[in-house]
Chain A
Amino acid sequence: MHELAITEGVVAAVTERLPEAKVTLVRLEIGALSGVVADSVRFCFDLVTEGTNLEGASLEIVEPAASCRCRSCGAEFVAEGPFLLCTCGSADVAVESGADLRILSVKVA
Chain B
Amino acid sequence: MCATCGCAGDGAVVHAHHDHGDGHSHVIPPGDSRTIILQQKVLAKNDELAERNRSFLTNRGAVMVNLMSSPGAGKTTLLESSAKLLAGTPQVSVIEGDQETALDADRIKAAGCAVVQVNTGVGCHLDAEMVAAALGELDPEPGCVVVVENVGNLVCPALFDLGESARIVLGSVTEGGDKPLKYPHMFRQADLVLVTKVDLLPYVDFDLERYGADVRRLNGRAELLTVSARTGDGLAAWCEWLTRAAAAGRGRPLSRPGQG
Contacts and interface: CB of A to CB of B under 8 A. Distances in A.
Interface of A: 1-2, 5-6, 9-10, 12-14, 17-19, 21, 24, 28, 33, 35-36, 68, 82-85, 91-95, 99-109
Contacts of B257: 33, 95, 99
B45 A9 contact: yes
A92 B220 contact: yes
A99 B218 CA distance: 15
B89 interface: no
20 contacts: A1-B124, A2-B155, A5-B123, A12-B45, A18-B36, A21-B36, A24-B34, A33-B257, A35-B155, A35-B158, A68-B258, A82-B181, A82-B184, A83-B184, A91-B216, A91-B219, A95-B257, A101-B41, A105-B14, A107-B36
Task: Please give me the 5 A-B residue pairs with the lowest Cβ-Cβ distance, nearest first.
Answer: A95-B258, A82-B184, A2-B156, A91-B220, A35-B185
B36 A105 contact: yes
Contacts of A13: 38, 40, 42, 44-45
Contacts of B123: 5
A91 B158 contact: no
Contact of B42 (A18, A21, A103): A103
A100 B43 CA distance: 10
Given A2-B124, A12-B45, A83-B217, A103 B40 contact: yes
A5 B127 contact: yes
B37 A36 contact: no
Given A35-B158, A82-B181, A91-B217, A14 B38 contact: yes
Interface of B: 5-7, 14, 34-46, 123-125, 127, 155-156, 158-160, 181, 184-185, 188, 216-220, 256-260
Contacts of B217: 83, 85, 91
Contacts of A9: 42-43, 45-46
Contacts of A19: 6
From DSSP, what is the main secondary structure of chain A's interface residues?
Answer: mixed
A86 to B, nearest CB: 11
A1 B22 CA distance: 44
B42 A101 contact: yes
A3 B133 CA distance: 23
Given A84-B258, A94-B259, A106 B35 contact: yes
A93 B188 CA distance: 12
Given A84-B188, A103-B40, 5 more contacts: A5-B123, A36-B159, A84-B258, A99-B256, A104-B38
A95 B184 CA distance: 15
Contacts of A10: 42
A107 B37 CA distance: 9
B6 A18 contact: yes
Contacts of B181: 82
Nearest to A1: B124
